[in-house]
A = this chain, B = another copy of it.
């Protein structure tokens, strides 16, 4: 099977443009709380979400916007929710970390790892009420160390539930490099629960689509759960205003704020050895360096990749681009008339 590339491109672009609009509103101070964008991981969501049908369910984490956009939830309702409006998707009670769309069986959670049990519960309900439907959990590499998520994978495997566990591995959990706190390999870990587990190029929407197609087919036919992991980028940092990204983007002003207390602390009489202090500073520098690299040197972008694949079909692409741009502009105008 081959995906419809235009459809994939359209969904990725809608998501990207929508989140860019959200970023603007956030900068204007109209959106409160920790705003997590999914820019950089757009290849993973549409690879899975565009294959879902009515009755299928989604369990999302704190980066839940794109799947909702791709599942056709009203952009205006989403925006109004982000703005805290009583007319928002959740009447302003949930906000961007707690998005709920019951008619799409889609639930979000700001508790890292909760997507696991939630997807398992949806899948269990499917087994009883909606044969052939699937439930997808989206979560990060950091979440993979959360006990309830591991328990959920075991439960799905033991009960042969139609669940698909999708790990969007951006290699970060806030400011922690996941590799530094994760023993072993996440694909092997998932496989050890007795389910097919594969690594896919998380920047390649087509590859994700194909891998997901296998997992979804398996789930629909009652053969049980699967695990998919794809590496992706975190272009906007952990959340908007991420201090590491700020340092990377505005090194001079930010470092003048961070450095003095740090230098003072390092220079204190008592503490650990000089070598260990140097190691600490190296580690911090390394994290900033990695962020700088991701900001300026890694030029990879899942959207650009797919656009390059579509290279020749310039007219169709431009038409999609124009339509998406108009759609998002209109949504913002509807949510915030006259802004």
Chain A positions near chain B (C-beta within 8 angstroms) = 145-148, 150-151, 153-158, 180-185, 188-189, 191-195
When C-beta atoms are compared, the residue in chain B nearest to A149 turns out to be: B147
When C-beta atoms are compared, the residue in chain B nearest to A148 turns out to be: B147
When C-beta atoms are compared, the residue in chain B nearest to A160 turns out to be: B183
Task: Supply 7 A–B pairs (Cβ within 8 Å), ascending by A.
Answer: A145-B151, A147-B148, A150-B150, A150-B151, A184-B192, A188-B191, A188-B192
Q: Give the residue of B150, B157, B188 whose beta carbon is less than 8 angstroms from that of A147.
A: B150
The complex places the Cα of A240 from the Cα of B185 at a distance, in Å, of 41
Q: Given A191-B184, A193-B183 in contact, is the A154-B148 Cβ separation under 8 Å?
A: no
For A182, the chain B residues whose CB sits under 8 A away are 154, 158
For A156, the chain B residues whose CB sits under 8 A away are 183
Contact between chains at B146 and A158 (CB < 8 Å)? no
The complex places the Cα of A191 from the Cα of B158 at a distance, in Å, of 20
Q: Give the residue of B148, B155, B193 whose beta carbon is less than 8 angstroms from that of A184.
A: B193
Q: Give the residue of B157, B181, B189, B194 whose beta carbon is less than 8 angstroms from that of A158.
A: B181
The complex places the Cα of A156 from the Cα of B184 at a distance, in Å, of 11
The complex places the Cα of A192 from the Cα of B190 at a distance, in Å, of 9
When C-beta atoms are compared, the residue in chain B nearest to A185 turns out to be: B192
Counting every copy of the chain, the complex holds 2
For A157, the chain B residues whose CB sits under 8 A away are 183-184
The complex places the Cα of A163 from the Cα of B151 at a distance, in Å, of 22
The complex places the Cα of A196 from the Cα of B195 at a distance, in Å, of 22
For A154, the chain B residues whose CB sits under 8 A away are 145, 182-184
Contact between chains at A146 and B151 (CB < 8 Å)? yes
The complex places the Cα of A189 from the Cα of B183 at a distance, in Å, of 12
When C-beta atoms are compared, the residue in chain B nearest to A187 turns out to be: B192
Shortest CB-to-CB span from A272 to chain B, Å, is 12
The complex places the Cα of A184 from the Cα of B151 at a distance, in Å, of 12
For A185, the chain B residues whose CB sits under 8 A away are 192, 194
Contact between chains at A192 and B195 (CB < 8 Å)? no
For A148, the chain B residues whose CB sits under 8 A away are 147
The 3 closest A-B pairs by CB, nearest first: A147-B147, A157-B183, A184-B194
Contact between chains at A189 and B193 (CB < 8 Å)? yes
The complex places the Cα of A147 from the Cα of B152 at a distance, in Å, of 9
For A153, the chain B residues whose CB sits under 8 A away are 183
For A158, the chain B residues whose CB sits under 8 A away are 180-183
When C-beta atoms are compared, the residue in chain B nearest to A154 turns out to be: B183
The complex places the Cα of A184 from the Cα of B190 at a distance, in Å, of 10
Shortest CB-to-CB span from A311 to chain B, Å, is 41
User: Known contacts A155-B183, A189-B189; can you find 4 more A-B pairs with CB under 8 A?
Assistant: A145-B151, A150-B151, A189-B192, A191-B192
Shortest CB-to-CB span from A160 to chain B, Å, is 9
When C-beta atoms are compared, the residue in chain B nearest to A193 turns out to be: B183
The complex places the Cα of A154 from the Cα of B154 at a distance, in Å, of 16
The complex places the Cα of A265 from the Cα of B182 at a distance, in Å, of 49
The complex places the Cα of A155 from the Cα of B185 at a distance, in Å, of 14
Greatest chain B CB density within 10 A among A153, A180, A184, A195 is at A184
For A155, the chain B residues whose CB sits under 8 A away are 183
